[in-house]
Structure 1
Amino acid sequence: MIDEVDAVVVGAGPNGLTAAVTLARAGVEVRVYEGAATVGGGASTQELTLPGFRHDVCSAVHPLGAGSPAFRAMPLGQYGLDWVQPPLPLAHPFPGGSAVVLARSAEETAASLHGDGRRYRRLIAPFLGRWDGLAPDVLRAPLAIRPRHPALLARFGARAVAPAALLARLFRGERARGLLAGLAAHGVAPLGSPVTGGIAVLFALAAHEVGWPFPRGGSQALSEALAAYLRHLGGQIHTGHPVSSLDDLPPARVYLLDVMPERLADLAEGRLPHRYVQRLRRYRHGPGVFKVDYALSAPVPWTAPACTLAGTVHLGPSFAEIDTALRAAYRGEAPATPFLIVAQPSLFDSSRAPDGGQVLWVYGHVPHGWRGDLTAAIERQIERFAPGFRDLILVRSIAGPAQIQARNPNNAGGDIAGGACDRLRLLFRPTAARVPYATPNPDIYLCSSATPPGPGVHGMCGYHAAQLAARRMFGMTPAERTVKGE
């Protein structure tokens, strides 16, 4: 007979590990089962190109991780997590060698916007210095929990619900509109979709409040810190343990699954009502990404000096160009000129590459499940802002949607956002339910990015699911019990 356990978590990505830690902090016995050989999921780091060149396999830069209420409540620094803050969170270059910067200072950012600086300050000013009050209310399911600061949330919500295309009308110049579009594009939806304006404001605010840092050594360091903390709390982690059914797992009072909805339907077959299972199987995924990791012989030769100080660079100068690229991916077409999100961590973390070498992390949006090759278009776009870039390439590691999914089954069809984010799907997923983490079976919970607040390495999906399970199944919350020695 297999011993019963209080809680089993399937998946050791950031959400699964956060769910496990949240329960363990409440004194719940937890076991985590992960199919891969190591923990991490979307927050993992490997030598994808050459020995000594350490590349982030999926996520790389973590503004919402540094600002996550869940992570900030954990002593992860004691377990190896060290955030690296580049001099500039973000640069957004334009042809000709100029760039807008998203700086730690709102004033510096406003100054780079020229005539739109005053409008930018007016957009962001009500929330400066209020991250700790705002973030817990924003990074949650909108109807599941009563907000702690309803007036502040309502003020943010007036901006957040708007499409980026509407917020862009606040600005007169292309510099500010381009910056706004690039920030909104992290939501992987056409810029006319609701909530894309809120994504832009949230990412801008994060830069001013917590930065856009990355873990020293790569994203794997965050996952390893979560795992080490969980083990300290008494939790167990079993890697290299694929799960095909909940019947393969020890009997437990509660199961939390860091998987996509259709995978939940497979794992919990026979334990969920047929109608609910059908809704899970109809879950809609969004566009995929095409990712290239580069080992370079030298730093990227950016034309805009600000780019050499930025951990992240957005390539796609104008609002129209970025929106065209996003719309193409949603229509099922590869963009002729992709919008690129670029990370260059080895400029600021020498542990990521051998002396003289650099790693570069780049992706653009493509249709779901697309089978083409975007490499040439990606490199044309980089050369547009960094002539001579191709001459520095030592090795490329190319991953289209199929390879992205093979690395992590949660990224179905290359969708790294945990599902489509257009319309209001980011807020109400995987189904239109007030409490999206629960299922009709009171023993089973969903804790992946297919639940609010959605994509990003922040752990908040796992945190909310675990809080709910702790209350319903064990009659407690982490605040009500303290683990000895923590």
Structure 2
Amino acid sequence: MLDAVVVGAGPNGLTAAVELARRGHSVAVFEARDTIGGGARTEELTLPGFRHDPCSAVHPLGAGSPAFKAMPLERHGLEWLHPELPMAHPFPDGTAAVLARSVAETAASLGPRDAATYRRLVAPFQDRWDELVGDFMALPSTALPRDPVTLARFGRLALPPATWLMRRFRDDRARALFAGLVAHVIAPLGGVGTSGVGLVFALAAHAGGWPMPRGGSQAIADALAGLLREHGGTVHTGYEVKRLDDLPPARAYVFDTSPSAVARIAGLGGFYAGYRYGAAAFKIDYALDGPVPWTAKEARTAGTVQVGSSSREIAAALDAVSRYDRAPDVPFLITAQPSLVDPGRAPAGKHVFWAYGHVPHGWTGDLTDAVERQLERFAPGFRDLVLARATAGPPELAARNANYVGGDIACGAAAGLQLLLRPRLTRSPYTTPHPAVFLCSSATPPGPGVHGMSGHNAAKEVWRHLRARP
């Protein structure tokens, strides 16, 4: 009998497995796909020699993750690469606001009327990031806060809607940049806790940048798997689990899956019936004949580029998919330029590039033309550089990763109280009615992102279970 079986070899499942194996427990991971990684994979999607990330490519919370920092992942090949600028947000006039490693550079890009406001927002937390992120990403608390005063101060700013915090800015440059940060979790700007989303992404850039792994996001999953094997754990791919009886006997079963999947497999009935899945993504991976010809010079050196001309335009795009269940006429785009900092991702002189916009849950249309019209507004001549493209709407995203129900890459709506209380209102979101079954996916706190903290937090619950039942 194994101590623990983990279902799903995404970053959270692998992190939970590593945490348990490092403490001497026997662990095996079972993955339905032929390769590991979940949302952290790298594949040739377009042309030979062009290495794309089918989902996540940039990891603001990965490099600073308390779970990852406590592991010697560099020993297994993980190397973080930092672009000159973490993020740029261009405007139609050819200028751009930026999210730089430097608070002063970021504030200056917002204009003289909002520079001081931005500095005042981030100053109380800039030097306390390690303690803050550790406490914030352990919520609901799996350990006593190391810095409860800073956490409480952050919570006072973070809990209100982003629309409230954005009122502090006088010009739309700052409002648009902040609205774009919130949109990374596909949440309407008026939702509870959305101020905290924007602040976390901004502080992460100032503390550790928005890096990319050399070779692609697959490097994160491969490093975790290498560390797991070093501690005696095993990984089995091409093994689809339909019920608990498909798995070997174990003292604990840990699921890096959607709540609906663990309910189906473990026979939990309607335990997660109230869990809501949210709006989806429409993603395009490009093979380009050269770098993206952004009009704003700052965007040409940024790893991530947010594309939305104003806070109103961004809010309208988010409202269209979240409230009115329709694709936006003018989508807000999040784009990534991995080959700017990692030339080995494409043949010499060529580039890989991805962009995604938001669409309704389960949408079956084609957003390609709208995406490329938006890109042409800020990078005239973009279409002339396209050598090949690979598109993935909600059905394709769900087919690649079963956790992306209806194309929801956040594994559950990050709106309303569900942004904070996932997957349901409970003291222990990682446990289930089955005493030996646990949930560790992005459907649990702290939520979406390649940071492993959901797996780390769930592993703590599993430790308690294993100690109580020797």
| Same fold at TM > 0.5 | yes
Find the aligned partners of 1:346 and 1:262 in 2 and give their Cα distance. Answer: 37
| Matched letter for residue 255 of structure 1 | Y
Rounded Cα–Cα distance in structure 1 between residues aligned with 2:86 and 2:236: 36
Contact 1:160 1:199 (C-alpha < 8 Å) held by counterparts? yes
> In structure 1, what is the equivalent of residue 212 of structure 2?
214
| 1:245-301 per-position Cα deviation (integer Å, ceiling 9, x unaligned) | 1111001000000000110111101xx4xxxx3131342100010000000000000
Separation (CA, whole Å) in 1 of partners of 2:185 and 2:288: 29
Write out aligned runs for 1:169-188 (5 A). 169-188=167-186
| Of 335, 348, 367, the match for 1:374 | 367
Is 1:117 aligned with 2:115? yes
Which residue in the other structure is 2:103 paired with?
106
C-alpha distance in structure 2 between counterparts of 1:282 and 1:397, whole Å: 34
Moved more, 173-182 or 131-140: 131-140
Among all aligned residue pairs of Structure 1 and Structure 2, give the percentage whose two residues are the same amino acid: 60
Name the residue aligned to 2:59: 62
1:430 is displaced (CA, Å) by 1.1
1:393 matched to which residue of 2? 386
1:113 partner letter: L
Residue type at the aligned position of 1:446: L
Shift of 1:427: 1.3
2:252 and 2:96 map into 1 onto residues whose CA distance is: 51
Q: 2:229 is matched with which residue?
A: 231
Secondary structure class of the residue paired with 1:66: coil
Structure 1 segments of 4+ aligned residues over 3 angstroms from their partners: 143-146
How far apart, in 1, do the equivalents of 2:429 and 2:274 lie? 16
Residues 121-132 of structure 1 correspond to what in structure 2 (within 5 A)? Answer: 121-132=119-130
Contact 1:344 1:361 in 2 (8 A): yes
C-alpha contact (below 8 Å) 1:187/1:196 kept by paired residues? no
**How far does the alpha carbon of each residue in 1:52-109 deviate from its partner, in whole angstroms, 9 at most, with x for none?**
0000011110010111000000000110000010010000000111000100000100
Structure 2 gaps, min length 5: none
Q: 2:457 aligns with which of 464, 469, 481?
A: 464
Q: Is 1:22 matched with 2:19?
A: yes
Given that residues 263 and 271 in structure 2 are in contact (C-alpha distance below 8 angstroms), is that contact kept between their aligned partners in structure 1? no
Match of 2:339?
346
- Tell me if the contact between 2:336 and 2:353 (Cα under 8 Å) persists in the aligned partners: yes
SS in structure 1 of the partner of residue 251 of structure 2: strand
What SS does the aligned partner of 1:312 have?
Answer: strand
Which of the numbers 140, 143, 168 marks the counterpart of 1:142? 140
Map of 1:151 onto structure 2: 149
> 1:144 deviation in Å?
4.8
RMSD, aligned CA: 1.1
Write the deviation string for residues 118-170 of structure 1: whole angstroms up to 9, x where unpaired: 00000000001211101111113335543221111000001110111000001
In 2, the alpha carbon distance for the partners of 1:149 and 1:130 equals 9
Q: SS at the partner of 2:114?
A: helix
Structure 1: which amino acid aligns with 2:66? P
Q: In 2, are the aligned partners of 1:206 and 1:212 still within 8 Å (CA)?
A: yes
Match of 2:293 in 1: 301
Measure, in 1, the Cα distance between the counterparts of 2:182 and 2:280.
17
Pairwise CA distance, 1:441: 1.8
Q: Paired residue for 1:289, among 277, 281, 294?
A: 281
C-alpha distance in 1, partners of 2:428/2:147?
Answer: 20
Equivalenced residue count is: 467
Q: Tell me, in whole angstroms, the C-alpha distance in 1 between the residues paired with 2:370 and 2:138.
A: 37
Runs of at least 5 residues in structure 1 that lack an aligned partner in the other structure: 477-486
Correspondence for 1:452: 445
2-side partners of 1:339 and 1:434: how far apart? 36
Shift of 1:221: 0.5
SS for the counterpart of 1:19 is helix
Distance in 2, Cα, partners of 1:111 & 1:413: 40
Amino acid at match of 1:161: L
Secondary structure of 1:402's partner?
helix
- Contact persistence 1:90–1:310 (CA under 8 A): yes
Q: Residue 47 of structure 2 contacts residue 388 of structure 2 at CA under 8 Å; is this kept in 1?
A: yes
CA distance in 2, matches of 1:404, 1:41: 11
**Secondary structure of residue in 1 paired with 2:361:** coil
Correspondence for 2:249 among 233, 248, 251: 251
Contact 1:245 1:266 in 2 (8 A): yes
Q: Tell me the equivalent position of 1:329.
A: 321
Note if contact 1:91-1:102 (Cα within 8 Å) is conserved in structure 2.
yes
Kept in 1, the 8 Å contact 2:114–2:169? The answer is yes
Determine the C-alpha separation between the residues in 1 that align with 2:86 and 2:14.
27
Secondary structure of residue in 1 paired with 2:306: strand
Match of 2:147, as an amino acid?
A: H
Question: Which amino acid is 1:37 matched to?
Answer: D
- Normalised TM-score (structure 1): 0.95
- 1:475 deviates by 5.5
> Which residue number in structure 2 is paired with residue 483 of structure 1?
none
Q: Which amino acid aligns with 1:42?
A: G
Instruction: Pick the aligned partner of 2:352 from 359, 370, 373.
Output: 359
State the partner residue of 1:484. Answer: none
For the residues of structure 1 that align with 2:281 and 2:17, how far apart are their CA atoms?
Answer: 29
| Pair 1:84 & 2:44 matched | no
- Find the residue that maps to 2:451 and give its secondary structure: coil
C-alpha deviation, 1:187, in angstroms: 2.0
Which of residues 58, 70, 73 in structure 2 aligns to 1:73? 70
- Secondary structure of the 2:272 match is helix
What CA distance in whole angstroms lies between the structure 1 residues aligned with 2:75 and 2:2? 28
CA contact (8 A) 2:283 2:391 kept: yes
SS at match of 1:45: coil
Check whether the contact 1:454–1:461 (CA below 8 A) recurs between aligned residues.
Answer: yes
- The match for 1:429 among 401, 411, 422 is 422
Q: How far is 1:348 from its partner?
A: 1.0
Cα distance, 1:474 vs. partner?
Answer: 2.5
> What is the SS of the residue equivalent to 1:445?
strand
Structure 1: distance between partners of 2:2 and 2:266: 18
Structure 2 counterpart of 1:479:
none
